[in-house]
Structure 1
Amino acid sequence: MTGHLVKRSLRLAGHGTSIALEPAFWAALEEEAARRAMPLAALIAEQDATRTDAAEPLTSRLRVFALECARGAARG
């Protein structure tokens, strides 16, 4: 995984925001969005809504989610 971050802008809950993740995490999220036949922004909004700890950064939630998706795909 490369160390540089890729920043993307989108709207969550009606507000503009930017998210910076490593390219490998973006790729995993895009693959999961495609698997679910939903836009990437909708997948991110879904993950934003699942955070139960208000102190949990969205980027951390997205990285954990991407890892969970990759592990699930590896298991078949």
Structure 2
Amino acid sequence: MNRDFDRLRPRAGLPGVRLHDLRHTVVSLLLSLGTPPHVVQAIARHAGIDVTTAIYAHTNMDEMRQALDAIEWEAG
């Protein structure tokens, strides 16, 4: 599959992008959109949810700021 993708990606305008990069992006986007981790795990076909949450769940600085602002708003 990687060989086919490497052949097709220049025509798609994706130089320097690996197939794994696209997979990583999709999983990260699903998680950031609030998709339950067990659903993302099933889509990505990870053996365990720990792979989904440990490797792919990146905490976004904006999301952390919003969470802290929400606490501050409630306390204020």
**If the length of structure 1 is used for normalisation, what is the TM-score?**
0.26
| TM-score (normalizing by structure 2) | 0.26
Bigger fraction of residues in strand: 1
Higher Cα radius of gyration: 2
